[in-house]
Amino acid sequence: MIVCVCRRISDREIVRHARAGLGFDEIQFELGVATQCGQCEGCARDVVAQCSNSCPTANIKLATHTQEGSPWNILQHSPQA
């Protein structure tokens, strides 16, 4: 569904950005939603709020180093027989 007619922004675009962890202000800056006539601001905020309540973002931690016995290192550090 098109939420912002002026910028032709759909609810799917807003949801995609909200799932990436962006808040309304960041989405507004990124997409330009609710920056022209402002009629869509309430609906856009509702979409962001619904998404953040029902679709929390994943907290992904990247490994800073690998351990010697890690299964990821089996091929690199295989013992020589």
Alpha-carbon span 24 to 49, nearest angstrom? 9
At residue 56, the pLDDT reads: 58
Tokens of 80: 């020589």
At residue 52, the pLDDT reads: 73
pTM score, two decimals?
Answer: 0.65
> Which residue in the block uniquely carries the two structure tokens 């910028």?
7
Q: Where are the beta strands (DSSP E) in the chain?
A: 2-4, 9-10
Residue-wise pLDDT for 20-36, tens only, equals 989 999 999 999 999 99
Task: Return the domain boundaries, the chain.
Answer: 2-54
Return the amino acid letter for 65. Answer: H
Question: What CATH code is assigned to 2-54?
Answer: 1.10.10.1100
Output phi, psi for 2, to 5 deg: -75, 125
Alpha-carbon span 35 to 39, nearest angstrom? 9
Residue-wise pLDDT for 33-78, tens only, equals 999 999 999 999 999 999 877 665 554 455 555 555 555 554 555 5
